[in-house]
Structure 1
Amino acid sequence: MTAEVIVTTTTTRPKPGRYVIDVPRSEISFTTKHMFGLGNVRGSFRLRGGTVSVSEPLTGSRIHAVADAASFDTGNKNRDRQVVSKALLDTATYPDIVFTSTRAEQGEVGEWVLPGLLTAHGVRVPITFTVAKASVHGDEIAVEATATVDRYAHGITKLKGMAARRLWLTATVRALRDNGSPA
């Protein structure tokens, strides 16, 4: 799978510099299974904030994003309450879910990937987001990337069978160039 790159400026790459994530226009959505894999669950988390640092070459670029763990929302109040409770995410103790990329690189089939570390439930685990779409609109960049999260790796192991082990995340992020940033 190759990343679809849409460019609406005269360049094919965003300008180097610091971009601030536009929280109201960005989201983290997920799908997972429940009831021993029989049912699908869709939901989301809200972003608190973050930055994208674009470098030249692009492989030096980095992303830092923070999601609000307590914003877990599947539209089922009972399920959501249980997930944010001490039994699973324990959002009172671990309010943030943080992704920090360590680099950007081209994957085996030409797509861009963002290896990094995901901290959830106080446990930091390596993860790789694959860029599905990226676009540049003047001083704004938009990126859609996907990753699979293994909740067991983060020490969230209760309710085996009732709640799936893996979540398939899609991060849709828009970020605006910080014009105080060096070009």
Structure 2
Amino acid sequence: MFRRTVLASLLAFASVGAVAAPVTYTLDPTHTDVLFTWNHLGFSNPTGHLGKADGTLVYDAADPTRSSVQVTLPLDGLDTHVVKLDEHLKKDEFLDAAKYPTITFKSTKVEVVGTGKFKVTGDLTLRGVTKPVVLDATLNGAGPHPMKKVPAIGFDATTTIKRSEFGMGAYVPNISDELTVRITTEALGPKAG
């Protein structure tokens, strides 16, 4: 009887530990988009895309405040669908990609603000300048990936930044200082066993 009780207790503890353990996911760059939009002279709202995202997302389902995210976006993944605009944005007047080839974000705090809703505060480093940014994030889903046969998770997030705070104030206010950023990401967990 004692053995069964000890065994049952150990199994219960192990299962609680397995449920509570955070899972580290790797961002899937083919299913991660970082889009930024600005206003041009009051006439249009062009959009740029930053691809090739590389990073990790640690999600703790039992206590999401212990979750974190770290992302690197190489500027060679910039695409506005206009080659000359891509080249212009990479020059020193804006992104200065030759000197600062990546944009990074590293979370410092995660707050739960509703069911599947979070405020993710972190340090955004852009053009050599680091500023705190808050992402409004929504959990899209988490579970086994039907094709890859690994755990998967997906989020959407939005924020607004002022480009002048990162040393890119050219043409403000004719070209808006504020950039609206929309993110969608899918990340894959480790294979079992």
Question: Smaller-chain TM-score range?
Answer: 0.7 to 0.9
- What does residue range 14-25 of structure 1 map to in structure 2 within 5 Å? 16-25=22-31
Aligned to 2:6: none
Identity, % of aligned positions:
26
Aligned to 2:129: 123
Following superposition, the deviation at residue 61 of structure 1 comes to 0.4
2:173 is equivalent to residue 161 of structure 1:
yes
Cα distance change of structure 1 residues 115 and 53 upon mapping to structure 2, 3 Å threshold: same
- Structure 1 unaligned blocks of 5 or more: 1-12
2:187 is equivalent to residue 172 of structure 1:
no
Check whether the contact 2:64–2:112 (CA below 8 A) recurs between aligned residues.
no
Rg larger for? 2
Match of 1:141 among 113, 137, 153: 153
**Larger helix share, 1 or 2:** 2
Aligned to 2:7: none
Aligned to 2:40: 34
TM-score, length of structure 1 as denominator length: 0.82
2:102 is equivalent to residue 96 of structure 1:
yes
2:70 is equivalent to residue 64 of structure 1:
yes
In 1, distance between residues paired with 2:187 and 2:114?
27
Q: Give the counterpart letter for 1:164 in structure 2.
A: S
TM-score, length of structure 2 as denominator length: 0.78
Cα distance change of structure 1 residues 164 and 180 upon mapping to structure 2, 3 Å threshold: farther
Check whether the contact 2:27–2:53 (CA below 8 A) recurs between aligned residues.
no
In 1, distance between residues paired with 2:25 and 2:68?
10
Following superposition, the deviation at residue 87 of structure 1 comes to 1.3
Q: Which has the higher contact order (CA 8 A, sep 6+)?
A: 1
SS in 2 for 1:104: strand
Q: Give the counterpart letter for 1:137 in structure 2.
A: G
Q: Deviations over 1:9-44 (max 9, x none)?
A: xxxx99622111111111111221112x32211121
In 2, distance between residues paired with 1:108 and 1:134?
13
Instruction: Point out the more displaced range, 70-79 or 94-103.
Output: 70-79
SS in 2 for 1:144: strand
Aligned positions, number: 168
- Structure 2 unaligned blocks of 5 or more: 1-18, 145-150
In angstroms, what is the RMSD of aligned CA positions?
A: 2.4
In 2, distance between residues paired with 1:127 and 1:178?
29
Match of 1:73 among 55, 74, 79: 79
Aligned to 1:10: none
In 1, distance between residues paired with 2:51 and 2:25?
18
In 2, distance between residues paired with 1:116 and 1:98?
10
